[in-house]
Amino acid sequence: MTAVIVSLLILMSLAGLGRPLAERLGAGLGAGERLALAPLLGALPLAALVQAVGYWRYDFLSMCVALLPGLLLAVRLPWRTMPRPFWSFWPWGGLLAAVLGLSVLSALAPPMDHDTIRYHLTLPRRDLELGHIWPWFGGSIYEFFPPLASLLTRLAYALGDASAAQMLNVVWMGLAALWAALLAGRLGGGHQAMLGAALLLVAQRISLNLGPAVTVDYPLAAFVGAAVTLAVAAPLRSRRALALGLLLGSAMACKYQGGVAAVAVLLPLAGVALARRQILWPWFLAGSTAALVLLPILVRNWAITGNPVFPVAHPLFVADGLDVFAPFTQAMTRQNIPGGIWGLPWSMFILQDKFDGLQWGYPFFMLGLPFAIAGKDRLGLMVAAIVGLYVVLWWLTMPHLLRFLLPVLVLLAALAAVGLEKVAAAKVGWFRPVLVATFGVAISIQALFAGSSALYRLPILLGQVSVQQALEVPAFRYYSQVSPCLWLDRNLRDGERYVALINDPSYFCPQSSALHSLRPGEAALFYSRSGAPPLSAAETARWFRQENVRYVVWVSNLGADDERFAFAKHRFDQLVAPLLASQPPLLDSASGRVYAAEPVIAALEQASRQPPRPADP
Amino acid sequence: MNKDNRLALAFTLWALVVTVSFLWANGGQMAAKLAERLGSS
């Protein structure tokens, strides 16, 4: 219940802060669109507040202070003019309520998603333990990515817990769905198309899996969706151009892919304005506003790391800089997408497994898209052109993961729903059963995905299995490391530290008590081609003793790691891992083991007293 | 053939192509995973 209350309070605070902006900048929009715009325009000021207060102090009380101004302003929201509840519209409104309800329930379960456990919640937990919010050079690369959404995650996490952070992501997904509905309306769709667009967004397999997790992708999708709706609503004037810039800037402040989406939105629309001999300066205003939003983040990164877009393109900005993503990029080259870029309209929906798995599930988007752009609907063609340009840029500049298409999720959902509504309007006797059968098959397939996703989370929520039982299965065990982490949580005392021989940190482990594997001044070296200097056994033993290291955690699949530089890790592997073979573990589980550190330190000290072996002749 | 008939026919064929292709490409894997999930739950 706390999670629901916290996420609703944050939504109110966002809307309260953003409403004055939405009212002033939303000229040409309907009342509903302006109301939906408010929480999006409130995100930037609320995230700035969280950063400002959190830099000074990050805990429950300080985050209440950050939340308060927005809540006070929320009193002035038009509470009495709320529309008819969407679930009363049968069938799509009812189905939408069912899928959203499933996401809300799933968000109450403990974190299970890979990146949520690796960093989306791990970094907030670390910051909460440390008591302040500021990126730590040499900690992880993720805290240098644009922080808008992750700051709001920190707000939810401090006010509630992991479930509150996950519930906030469901709220973001709900906002993205709302904008899919509004865009469908702008594209000429009726009530059913609008509800269908929202339903298509929340019922994609990726939404079923990632909606109740923590991501930065759903806020990004909401910002891009709202930006496109604003841009196509009417000829752009200065105030709405400012709103468009703030939305695209917020998208970029969520994830760098927002920059690619901004280009995909602005280029075709500015091109059309140019062809129609309309004034271009609103488009420049929108672009420059967006760039200005991103600027403080670039300056921060440059000041700390020497690279404004750290960790991206590090060799370009820093002499001897490491290509941080090289191991990941190398792993991605094993992909073989049939048809290359020309086969994409087919492969990205049908051969999803050639990318990063069945992210859409049944290809509803593919079913509806052609009918949305057939005919003379210029708005539909314009939105499709934005999607097309984004997909081309995605193919050319990013790893070919379908989840990196989420910035255009709102657009795909709106277009497909409008296309399907057009088809459903055909008045042909024999067609009705065909249509019902098609939707029946498609919905049944998607229901299997929904059921599968729910089967992972709901049994924990219903108390049928423990977190440990649920996560100690092959799909989750290696990145959750749940048994060793929970053991440490129970046994580690104040002032004690542990050494982690792991591939990635896990949210379930204590964070600030993990021994950081870089000494002062070594962070820049870690991200250089020469790397951090090797450690001797004597140095390591001395370091462990100084830092009161009591335990060593060893993960079963140590070294199976495509992202070796995502966190400062593997520094102690070669020295310490061989010593563990002769030690009895304090905890032995399928995901990993915990060892007492004292015998390991003693073995390191003993090894440091032995004379070095003579070199081979 | 009027516009509605053409639309209905086009959608019927398209839906058939999309659904059959999707199940052809992914049905086996989906069935295997479903069996695995039902077995493990």
Domain ranges (residues) in chain B: 1-41
**A596 pairs with which residues across the strands?**
A551
pLDDT of residue A617: 45
Task: Name the domain count of chain A.
Answer: 2
Report helix, strand or coil for A552: strand
Q: Tens of pLDDT along B1-41?
A: 788 999 999 999 999 999 999 999 999 988 888 887 777 65
Mean per-residue pLDDT of chain A: 93
Could you give the C-alpha distances from A23 to A220, A225, A536, in angstroms and in order? Answer: 22, 19, 63
DSSP string computed for A559-609: T--S-TTSBS--SSHHHHHHHHTTSPPSEE-SSEEEEEHHHHHHHHHHHHH
A446 at B interface, C-beta within 8 A: no
pLDDT of residue A511: 96
Question: Which residues span the domain enclosing A510?
Answer: 477-609
**Do A489 and A554 reside in the same domain of the chain?**
yes
| Mean pLDDT confidence for A498-504 | 94
Q: Is residue A445 part of a domain?
A: no
Query: Any residues with CB less than 8 A from the CB of A128 and at least 6 apart, and which?
Result: A58, A59, A154, A157, A158
User: Any idea which of A79-88, A113-122, A160-169, A498-507 has the lowest mean pLDDT?
Assistant: A79-88
Cβ distance of A352 and B18 shorter than 8 Å: no
Q: Is residue A614 part of a domain?
A: no
Q: How far apart are CA A111 and CA A118, in angstroms?
A: 10
DSSP string computed for A347-390: HHHH-GGGTTS-SSSS-HHHHHHHHHHSSS-HHHHHHHHHHHHH
Q: What is the least distance, in Å, from the CA of A438 to any CA of chain B?
A: 7
**C-alpha dihedral sign at A194, A199, A200, A202:** positive
Q: Which residues of B touch A435 (CB under 8 A)?
A: 11
- Please tell me which residue of chain A has the smallest CA distance to B41: A455
Cβ distance of B11 and A363 shorter than 8 Å: no
Per the structure block, which two tokens stand in for A612?
A: 């070095």
Q: Which residues of B touch A459 (CB under 8 A)?
A: 41
B26 at A interface, C-beta within 8 A: yes
Altogether, the residues listed in chain B come to a count of 41
Q: Is residue A442 part of a domain?
A: no
B8 at A interface, C-beta within 8 A: yes
Q: How far apart are CA A155 and CA A318, in angstroms?
A: 33
Q: In a mutagenesis test of the A interface, which of B26, B29, B33 is the best target, namely the one with the most A β-carbons within 10 Å? A: B26
The residue that leads in pLDDT, A280 or A213, is A213
CB contacts < 8 A, A to B, total: 65
Cβ distance of A363 and B12 shorter than 8 Å: no
| Mean pLDDT confidence for A547-576 | 91
Q: Is residue A174 part of a domain?
A: yes
A75 at B interface, C-beta within 8 A: no
Chosen domain end from A389, A407, A424: A424
User: Any idea which of A179-193, A327-341, A354-368 has the lowest mean pLDDT?
Assistant: A327-341
pLDDT of residue A460: 94
Confidence bin at A483 (pLDDT 50/70/90): very high
Q: Is residue A494 part of a domain?
A: yes
Residue A615, pLDDT > 60, answer no
Q: Is residue A451 part of a domain?
A: no
Q: What is the least distance, in Å, from the CA of A367 to any CA of chain B?
A: 6
**Do A594 and A530 reside in the same domain of the chain?**
yes
| Mean pLDDT confidence for A383-390 | 97
Q: How far apart are CA A166 and CA A116, in angstroms?
A: 9
**Do A481 and A378 reside in the same domain of the chain?**
no
Chosen domain end from A424, A457, A490: A424
Q: Is residue A449 part of a domain?
A: no
Residue A586, pLDDT > 70, answer yes
